[in-house]
A = this chain, B = another copy of it.
Amino acid sequence: MKIDRYLIQDTDGKILSKLDPDDTGGFKSKGEAEAKMNKLKDRLAELQDIFFAQKGHALLIVLQGMDSSGKDGTVKHVFSGINPQGFTVTSFKKPTLDESAHDFLWRVHKQTPAKGYISAFNRSHYEDVLVPRVHGDQEKAETKRRFKQIRYFEEMLTEENTLIIKLFLHISKEKQLEKIQERLQDPTKHWKFDVSDLEERKFWDDYQEAYEDIFKETSTTNAPWYWIPANHRWYRNYLALAIVVKTLEKLDLAYPKLNSPTPDISELISPRH
């Protein structure tokens, strides 16, 4: 499985139309991927245990994508099975008054993972170069400045031992409508329906364009963007998981040794104790 195929590098800002949201990476069926997925999940659990014990690095996974692209589902299916003690998810919503009174990276920085920990951001600081831009109140110069600030911020994090992976869940406009319909028809999904999603859908092209700039300006060697074909949920989950596992495998992971000579506890092992 070559994940490099999904790496976004040196783009000319016109890449999305060339990426197929229906791509399944050669898999012919969901079943074929599922067996491999289970193995990868076990592998993730193994790696996470060492990662947590070693506390040498942190791992930050940024999830972005259009409404209904499956950010929630990816978190659920990729990371159920992980030891929740070493994992956190932060869903960034509309900023609170207090958050808006600070720079846009303030609330994000607070949620970055400590060494040994893995964090997923469900939406992120990238919303701050999307929503205000699409809705017209962010000037070009400001967007540009934020891109620079994001690069510096992510550079600092990686220099200080936080690995960063950024995943863009890529669905087609038709698939989005299908998923909105699902939410309206399935009573267990009604709660996910938000009428504003229909409004935002009208700005589809503007959002895609804003993403093109994001990829151009912020896909760096240390904090790369990957695109995840997301029309098929099962491939989306499989690929996201594979990227996380491959990223951890590149590290020199090992359980720490005892930091002192092994104490002699034989004296404790007596009927008296």
Contact = CB atoms under 8 A, between A and B. Distances in A.
Interface in A151-195: 173-174, 177, 180-181, 184, 187-188, 190-193, 195
Given A84-B84, A262-B184, A263-B184, A177 B273 contact: yes
A27 to B, nearest CB: 25
A9 interface: no
Interface residues of A, number: 47
Interface in A180-239: 180-181, 184, 187-188, 190-193, 195, 198, 201
Interface string A68-91: 000010011001111111011101
A197 to B, nearest CB: 10
Interface in A122-167: 122
Interface string A111-127: 00000000010100000
A257 to B, nearest CB: 6
Contact of A198 (B72, B181, B263): B263
B80 A190 contact: no
A29 interface: no
A96 interface: no
Given A184-B263, A190-B255, A173 B91 contact: no
Given A180-B265, A191-B53, A273-B177, A76 B81 contact: no
A17 interface: no
Given A81-B80, A85-B72, A263-B184, A258 B190 contact: yes
Interface of A: 45, 49-50, 53-54, 72, 75-76, 79-85, 87-89, 91, 120, 122, 173-174, 177, 180-181, 184, 187-188, 190-193, 195, 198, 201, 255-258, 260, 262-263, 265, 268-269, 273
Task: Pick the 10 closest A-B CB pairs, nearest first.
Answer: A53-B191, A76-B83, A191-B256, A190-B258, A85-B89, A75-B85, A79-B84, A188-B255, A84-B89, A84-B84
